[in-house]
Amino acid sequence: MQQNEIEQQLREDHEKFLNEPYRKNIPDGLLERFEKALMVVPPQAHGINFSKVKSIISKEDSELTISDLNDIIKLVFNTPPQVFYDSLFDAIPEQIKLEKFVITFQFHIKDFTDKLNQKRTRLASLSSGLLNGNGMRSISSNRDY
């Protein structure tokens, strides 16, 4: 496998990951916060195109993808808390819940990135071994026929 083929495979894996639904619990009201934030943050500031916005707000929580959640989290965290809460006492517990979710979400992405990097290393190692001829003998000698 050539380096460009490896990179193409990794890009495809990454794209697939970004577009798969996030299977863990999403905090209640996250989509509502996103919608409120959209009403106060100018489009040029958040940079999310309206076809993507339409796609996100038409989904149920269970249908939200990694990519969707990334956009939602960025916008919600960059919106002043007074948009969502009436008082500081209301904001603190809700923000703590949201921060815990974001940490879990970031670990999910980190785990995938680590696996992707391991795959890159493994494929590059196999590729270089097969290209120089040394790996072929060691791979085939470990098989039981």
Greater pLDDT, 61 or 144: 61
Q: What is the mean pLDDT of residues 32-46?
A: 93
pLDDT in tens, 96-124: 999 999 999 999 999 999 999 999 888 88
R_g over Cα of the chain:
21
**In the structure, what pLDDT confidence band is assigned to residue 70 with cuts at 50, 70 and 90?**
very high
Cβ–Cβ under 8 Å, residues 25 and 62: no
Asked if residue 13 lies in contact with residue 114, where contact means CB atoms within 8 angstroms, the answer is: no
- The dihedrals phi and psi of 96, each to the nearest 5 degrees, come to -65, -45
- Structural contact between residues 81 and 91, judged by C-beta atoms closer than 8 angstroms: yes
Average pLDDT score over the chain: 87
Q: Compute φ and ψ for 83, nearest 5 degrees.
A: -70, -30
Does the pLDDT at position 140 exceed 90? no
C-alpha distances out from residue 135 to 23, 77, 92, 100, Å: 39, 49, 57, 45
**Does the pLDDT at position 73 exceed 80?**
yes
Q: Span 18-24, mean pLDDT?
A: 95
